[in-house]
Structure 1
Amino acid sequence: MYEIDRKLMELEDKQTPIHVSLIGCGQMGKDIIAQISKMKGIVCDIAVDIDTDFVLDGYGQAGYSPEDIVVAEDLKKVEEAVREGKKVAASDYRLAVAARQTQVVIDATGSPEMGARITLECIFYKKHIVMMNVECDVTIGPILRKLCEQAGIVYSLTAGDEPGSICEIYRFAKSLGFKVVAAGKGKNNPLDFYATPDTPEWAGKAKERKMAPRMLVEFVDGSKTMIEMAAVSNATGLVPDVRGMHCAKCNVDELKTVFSLKSQGGVLEKEGVVDFAIGNVAPGVFVVVTTDNQRIIDGLVQRDMGQGPNYLLYRPYHLCSIETPITAAQAVLYGESSGHPMDHLTSECITIAKRDLKKGEVLDSIGEYCYRASIDLHSVARDGNMLPVGLAKGAVMKCDAEKDTVLTYDMVELSEKSVLVQLRRIQDQMLNA
């Protein structure tokens, strides 16, 4: 990446590091603080969480002593503390963006509504935004990216998360002129559409992994995978072959065969798709490519890539938040993203009832009890008036809906106070004009 290690070392030598602010100090946020503490030429000065104890714990696990940390809820005090080389813990996300030293903001909240609000603040103050909040990206990513570009700042998905890691391989493949057959990820747990935080198996595993049950369930019920692959779709133009994708059960050595056309013995109706597999693929991500040039085919055979017609480009790891600082540095040093949506939606994450829902019921969060996400073409979702899953939280049911029903806008009442909802409406007007 353009000698990024050397660039960071130069900043370290000049004592002019990249200044990062972090919003959201859960498991991922604490990883980011710890990783940046080991890096040269980049610092995390300000970290924010509703509960500043989470921030203090994050700084403590990164090796900072209590004397290094200042709890501040006033912009002047925040900026003074940063000038003095202190680490700042705060509960107001606006302070992290507004501080004059901040160059790039990382959103690790996981809340679509907060993602909308944080990015608007970044646009106002002209601070780059690293969007770990994929739930927000698949809902209003195109308009946020457009507004960021007009403000002269970078809007980026994060390196290390599956969408960013897949985009890395996809860009490599496309730059070499390969045709992309499929791009995807491995899923490292079974698919249980009706999992809830109270399901004994998943409640127990969440406790073992020191995760909130809701977070684990978002993975188990498939919602996270659908959201992540929608982000890839919207960044690349690749499409889901079928609603929900194929969820093939296969291992790494079978990927290029399984994710090929049916006429070639695979599962696909068409090429150029996003999908996922359950097997020994996780924590890896993959892109299956092909070429019609015989010279290139011969070269791939000689390099032990197989006999074709498809070839596997496989990255056996993604390090999630541990890689995120690279995106922050890339935005500041090169003005580039690790992946971002195009100016339109290719795919939509739709909302499907996990159980019977009643009129007047308030919908909960992704990974809880009311609904799950699935992926379909944006055009299909638009024509069916389907509710994007990012808008579901807090919506009030206007009618009963049976289990497995795809929820539509007509079935719910959305909050008029939501910045996310308002931006989505503007985005829809722009895209559908």
Structure 2
Amino acid sequence: MNLFSKLRERDAAGNPVRVGLIGAGKFGTMYLSQALRTPGIQVVGVVDLSPTRAMENLARVNWPKERYAAASLDDAVKTGGTHVGDDWRALVAHPGVDIILECTGNPIAAVDHCLAAFRNGKHVVNVTVEADAFCGPLLARKARDAGVIYSLAYGDQPALACDLVDWARTCGFPITAAGRGHKWLPHYRESTPDTVWNFWGLTAEQARVGGLNPKMFNAFLDGSKPAIESTAIANATGLEAPDDGLAFPPGSVDDIPTLMRPAAEGGVLARKGMVEVISCLRTDGTPIPYDIRKGVWVCFEGDTEYLRRCFEEYKVVTDPSGRYMCAYKKWHLIGLELSVSVASVGLRGEPTGVATCFNADVVATTKRALAPGEILDGEGGYTVFGKLAPAAKSVAQGCVPLGLAHNLKVVRPIAKDQAVTWDDVEIDPSLAAFTLRREMEQLHFGAAAQ
């Protein structure tokens, strides 16, 4: 509750939290739009594959040109300005940078960036949650071993859900479930970049004019992003993944306490302590008023008569029994909220969510039958979608995590709606991300890892 006052103290002392940003796309640009308005933070460097595009985005969010005209990182530290370039290795190695913000959205590259940052004694806020979903627990361990902090990104739904879970547990409430909202119907899992806009509610022309990336938007629509973010929530909070994947039960905010009860009590949960996603559409496709599509929630239990009486006295919305209620945040503002992570890591030395276990995984699952020679195109593409699974089940079956299902050659036929296994594809064992994933499987499951 006092991050802003602490930032002002750092600003007054001329000792800002110094940040390096890798990836000036949508999320990174949203953060940059607020960074100039936040005292006590200096963006020392912005690195992008296209420095020209990065500069265009800085101008778009009203950065004065002189603020990002530093000729080098050294010059930026000396003058308080910002250097824009394309050398991420120089950025993560520079002694004037405290925290690296990984905003590329490329899970393979993100692993390289995180590991290099740890080796150079830098904290990391990892916006690329796709990387966290397949190796976050080991990234967190590598950071601890290096004496630095690894964190999920506040503003993205996983960190916001972790915040709600932490609040409920700090208040002494048992958690029944936590998660996010989504727009979902079962046939969306087959969507491709060619079909996404009709399902999303835009025309192809509107998407083109808006510069919208069909593959990125399709990753949300086909269920991959909800699975990825639910994995991050589960592994950061210790909640469990449903045995058969997300159920996407439809409901409003006020329906959450009724839905997020054990099935034996009229809800949809196999047991208490799960992650789940609430759909804003009824099964017939009609919208549900006061939905949680863009937000996060936690459902908890009044497990004593006294607590249930308090719920009634204060007239909170509960399930029909009066035993379960929820807290929620209706909206998330993506990169506009990322300064909370920067301040928490830089001032308090605390992550805004970090993997503490390996409970959940996102399995690459086929959208259609695949033949030998075809190439997997990762999340949001034409070949696979991400399905949430318990990590023990995924690892025991040798499943390929969605974050690694990019540019992999299929070597034997795979039927539709099947999990892709290591035996189904050709892997480049030299990839650091692949090596890290296999190391994590052995660390957590030993001989059970295929």
Give the TM-score of the pair, scaled to structure 1.
0.95
What amino acid is the match of 2:266? G
Distance in 1 between the 2:238 and 2:165 partners?
A: 11
Kindly indicate whether the alpha-carbon contact (under 8 Å) linking 2:42 and 2:80 is maintained by their aligned counterparts in 1: no
What does residue range 380-419 of structure 1 map to in structure 2 within 5 Å? Answer: 380-419=393-432
Task: Quote how far apart the aligned CAs of 1:62 are.
Answer: 3.1
Kindly indicate whether the alpha-carbon contact (under 8 Å) linking 1:215 and 1:367 is maintained by their aligned counterparts in 2: yes
The aligned residue for residue 336 of structure 2 is: 322
Distance in 1 between the 2:173 and 2:165 partners?
A: 9
Distance in 2 between the 1:243 and 1:90 partners?
A: 45
What is the SS of the residue equivalent to 1:50?
A: coil
Distance in 2 between the 1:212 and 1:250 partners?
A: 29
The aligned residue for residue 284 of structure 2 is: none
Distance 1:306 1:71, change over 3 A: closer
What amino acid is the match of 1:422? T
Kindly indicate whether the alpha-carbon contact (under 8 Å) linking 2:241 and 2:359 is maintained by their aligned counterparts in 1: no
The aligned residue for residue 305 of structure 1 is: 316
What is the SS of the residue equivalent to 1:193?
A: helix
Kindly indicate whether the alpha-carbon contact (under 8 Å) linking 2:254 and 2:317 is maintained by their aligned counterparts in 1: no
The aligned residue for residue 381 of structure 2 is: 368
Task: Quote how far apart the aligned CAs of 1:190 are.
Answer: 5.0
Pick one of 290, 306, 316 that aligns with 2:301. 290
Distance in 2 between the 1:403 and 1:262 partners?
A: 30
Distance 1:196 1:211, change over 3 A: same
The aligned residue for residue 177 of structure 1 is: 172
Task: Quote how far apart the aligned CAs of 1:13 are.
Answer: 1.1
The aligned residue for residue 340 of structure 1 is: 354
What amino acid is the match of 1:211? L
Q: Does 1:91 align with 2:86?
A: yes
Distance in 2 between the 1:223 and 1:91 partners?
A: 30
The aligned residue for residue 145 of structure 2 is: 150
- Deviations along 1:309-328, one digit per CA (max 9) or x if unpaired, are 10111111211111111101
- Deviations along 1:373-404, one digit per CA (max 9) or x if unpaired, are 00011111122111111111121111111221
Q: Does 1:258 align with 2:259?
A: yes
Q: Does 1:195 align with 2:191?
A: yes
Kindly indicate whether the alpha-carbon contact (under 8 Å) linking 1:112 and 1:135 is maintained by their aligned counterparts in 2: yes
Distance in 1 between the 2:292 and 2:49 partners?
A: 36
Distance in 1 between the 2:59 and 2:354 partners?
A: 33
Distance in 2 between the 1:260 and 1:208 partners?
A: 44
Distance in 1 between the 2:264 and 2:435 partners?
A: 45
Could you tell me which runs of 5 or more consecutive residues in structure 1 were left unpaired when the two chains were aligned: none
Kindly indicate whether the alpha-carbon contact (under 8 Å) linking 2:43 and 2:81 is maintained by their aligned counterparts in 1: no
Task: Quote how far apart the aligned CAs of 1:194 are.
Answer: 1.1
Distance in 2 between the 1:242 and 1:426 partners?
A: 24
Task: Quote how far apart the aligned CAs of 1:429 are.
Answer: 1.9
The aligned residue for residue 124 of structure 2 is: 129
What does residue range 347-366 of structure 1 map to in structure 2 within 5 Å? Answer: 347-366=360-379
What is the SS of the residue equivalent to 2:5?
A: helix
Distance in 1 between the 2:5 and 2:328 partners?
A: 27
What amino acid is the match of 1:304? K
Aligned length: 427
Task: Quote how far apart the aligned CAs of 1:136 are.
Answer: 0.3
Could you tell me which runs of 5 or more consecutive residues in structure 2 were left unpaired when the two chains were aligned: 281-290
The aligned residue for residue 439 of structure 2 is: 426
What is the SS of the residue equivalent to 1:22?
A: strand
Distance in 1 between the 2:358 and 2:68 partners?
A: 42
Deviant stretches of 4+, over 6 Å = none
Kindly indicate whether the alpha-carbon contact (under 8 Å) linking 1:182 and 1:289 is maintained by their aligned counterparts in 2: yes
Task: Quote how far apart the aligned CAs of 1:61 are.
Answer: 2.3
Task: Quote how far apart the aligned CAs of 1:264 are.
Answer: 2.2
Distance in 2 between the 1:81 and 1:391 partners?
A: 36
The aligned residue for residue 7 of structure 1 is: 6
Distance 1:68 1:237, change over 3 A: closer
Kindly indicate whether the alpha-carbon contact (under 8 Å) linking 1:19 and 1:103 is maintained by their aligned counterparts in 2: yes
Task: Quote how far apart the aligned CAs of 1:370 are.
Answer: 1.0
Q: Does 1:103 align with 2:98?
A: yes
What amino acid is the match of 2:310? G
Distance 1:269 1:208, change over 3 A: farther
What amino acid is the match of 1:87? T
Task: Quote how far apart the aligned CAs of 1:86 are.
Answer: 2.7
Kindly indicate whether the alpha-carbon contact (under 8 Å) linking 1:70 and 1:87 is maintained by their aligned counterparts in 2: yes
Distance in 2 between the 1:208 and 1:401 partners?
A: 37
Task: Quote how far apart the aligned CAs of 1:214 are.
Answer: 0.7
Distance in 1 between the 2:207 and 2:390 partners?
A: 32
The aligned residue for residue 288 of structure 2 is: none
What does residue range 158-177 of structure 1 map to in structure 2 within 5 Å? Answer: 158-177=153-172
- Deviations along 1:54-113, one digit per CA (max 9) or x if unpaired, are 2102221232233333376xxxx3212331233211112112212221110111111111
Distance 1:7 1:125, change over 3 A: same
RMSD after superposition: 1.7
Kindly indicate whether the alpha-carbon contact (under 8 Å) linking 1:71 and 1:90 is maintained by their aligned counterparts in 2: no
Distance in 2 between the 1:429 and 1:71 partners?
A: 45
What amino acid is the match of 1:53? T
Distance in 2 between the 1:278 and 1:117 partners?
A: 35
What amino acid is the match of 1:287? V
What is the SS of the residue equivalent to 1:287?
A: strand
Distance in 1 between the 2:191 and 2:87 partners?
A: 34
Pick one of 76, 84, 96 that aligns with 1:81. 76
Percent identity among equivalent residues? 29
The aligned residue for residue 21 of structure 1 is: 20
Distance in 2 between the 1:383 and 1:121 partners?
A: 30
